[in-house]
A and B are shown apart, each in its own frame.
Chain A
Amino acid sequence: MAPESRTVETNLSRVLSSGGFAVTGELGPPKGADPAVVRDKARLLRGSVDAVNITDNQTAVVRMSSIAAAALARDEGLEPVVQMTTRDRNRLAIQADLLGAWALGLRNVLCLTGDHQTFGNHPTAKNVWDIDSIQLVKLLAEMRDQGVFANGEALEGDPPRFFVGAVESPFADPVAYRPFRVAKKVRAGAEFLQTQCIYNMEKFREFMARLGDLGVLDKVHVMAGLSPLKGPGMAKYMRDNVPGIDMPDEVVERMTAAGAGIDDKAERQKAWRAEGIRLCVEQIQQVREIPGVAGVHVMAIEWEEAVRPIVEGAGLLPRPEPLGAAAEG
């Protein structure tokens, strides 16, 4: 259970602190300005998750602003978690944008470093990183608890009291350092933590045990990140190319086997996807058994329709009745 904090209650914080097993999803805003794209994705997720992360220029590709998309999703009855990276904005812009997010009724923020801009679609851009993700957590915690800006100056009126989240990649190098980094984020004021996608349950169990040793599990709600696989290609790509992903060969083999002997391309794809959903359901059941895991963060990127069957298959429906769309502030 997280300690008493001055955070305003959000749907997500309420489910987590009531000891319920929370479910969050992910919604990537479009590479364009059409609000209908956000609304459609939001409708696919509504009722299956307690809150949904709205990504912030994910993989350094320009997309609709996370705060604007979060407001659209909120209007569709979803509770957003606004992702904020420190790649694109300095401390002035971050604070200004988050004051605006609060004014719009958005209450959860997830603090991230962000992928380097050379990966994205504007690789010649200048980056910012005026502050890092841990400093951002601390900034928001101080805004919440002391009503001050990063410079220590009091802000006018009631300060934003966001439910502050952080992320960790349990298997990224240097691996032994990762639990220590979680402890640092908790010390900075993180109240919930979402992890990078987990496929190696054995190692994840060890990671969680280490967090227990460090005494942080009673201070932060840890949500295991899970991402359903669309096929063996995705599994191999993640195994070989994505830092911090520990993809056991059994998983790749299982996905490959699911399509074996099916000649029709569409049928094969269907079989893969069904297997991906089944695997994800099993993973949820496995992480639920691990002490300290308070929920799952299901990242079905460009596959939002997978979330309902996954959550349903894991026996996690119906979700607790959400708080009013616009939380009281």
Chain B
Amino acid sequence: MIVAEQKPVAKILEMAAGAQTALVLGCGTCVTVCFAGGDKEAEILASALRMKARLDGRELDAAHLTVQRQCEWEYLDTAADRIRQADVVVSLGCGVGAQAIVERFPEARMVPGLDTRFYGLPTRHGVWEERCAGCGDCVLDYTDGICPVARCSKSLLNGPCGGSHDGKCEVDDAIPCAWHEIVERLTSRGELERLAEVHEPKNWRAARDGGPGRIVREDLVRDAQDGAGT
């Protein structure tokens, strides 16, 4: 899932300067699961914004609403009136959801209530860890299921750097060294030889370095056109 964190209330109020009404718009998918932008968080944030505004000597009528998925226009349409009416929409969707709002409702003023962090999973209650960086050229076969791109702090492709210690990454003791894990896993499966050959430089163009991503499925595009024609 996409994992995000809420920005501080003071920061959100600052971004929403000048607004008298605000709609805190939650999202019912990834950010609900990571407790950053679901209905509950939207409700709490709306009330926190009202209180903090009052303390700051400012009037802000903040309400909340949650759509099932901010990142698809048809779900946003269910909140169309509320989005249009508010002076500002505080998006509690990920960066995709937040942008979908202004794409669908160009007249709306939107500010992001979340910082979108990564694609990850909960490893225990209250802890989320990054697992994938969307590199567009997956190498999980080579590393036997542990991603070196997202989970090694240097995205190395040929084994651990010299900073690996006690299974931890040199960057922070809270970060497991991905290459330590890869080496252990391959060793226990008797497949360490897989790492013997030099892995070629990666094709980074498959992700951000090739410009913004775009996928076109001609078959689906055609189906949609045919459907429209009948």
Contact = CB atoms under 8 A, between A and B. Distances in A.
The answer to whether A and B belong to the same complex is yes
Interface of A: 87, 91, 113, 115-116, 118-119, 127, 129-135, 138-139, 150, 167-169, 172-174, 176-177, 180-181, 183-184, 187-188, 196, 243-244
A244 B161 CA distance: 10
B84 to A, nearest CB: 38
Given A113-B156, A243-B165, 7 more contacts: A132-B157, A135-B158, A172-B165, A173-B164, A177-B183, A180-B195, A180-B196
A134 B158 contact: yes
Given A138-B198, A184-B196, A173 B160 contact: yes
B131 to A, nearest CB: 19
Q: Is the interface of B mostly helix, strand, loop or mixed?
A: loop
Contacts of A176: 187
Given A116-B163, A173-B177, A244-B163, A127 B197 contact: no
A116 B162 contact: no
A172 B156 CA distance: 16
A191 to B, nearest CB: 15
Contact of B160 (A87, A130, A167, A172): A172
Interface residues on B, range: 20 to 34
A196 B165 CA distance: 14
Interface stretch (B57-65, B95-103, B166-174, B219-227): B166-174
B180 A243 contact: no
A133 B171 CA distance: 18
A87 B162 CA distance: 14
Contacts of A115: 163, 170
A116 B154 contact: yes
Interface of B: 153-167, 170-171, 177, 180, 183-184, 187, 192, 195-201, 204
B162 A172 contact: yes
B159 A134 contact: yes
B196 A187 contact: yes
Contacts of A132: 154, 156-158
B60 to A, nearest CB: 32
Given A115-B170, A118-B171, A173-B167, A129 B155 contact: yes
A188 B201 CA distance: 13
Contacts of A135: 157-158, 198-201
Given A132-B154, A180-B195, A243 B163 contact: yes
Contacts of A172: 160, 162-165
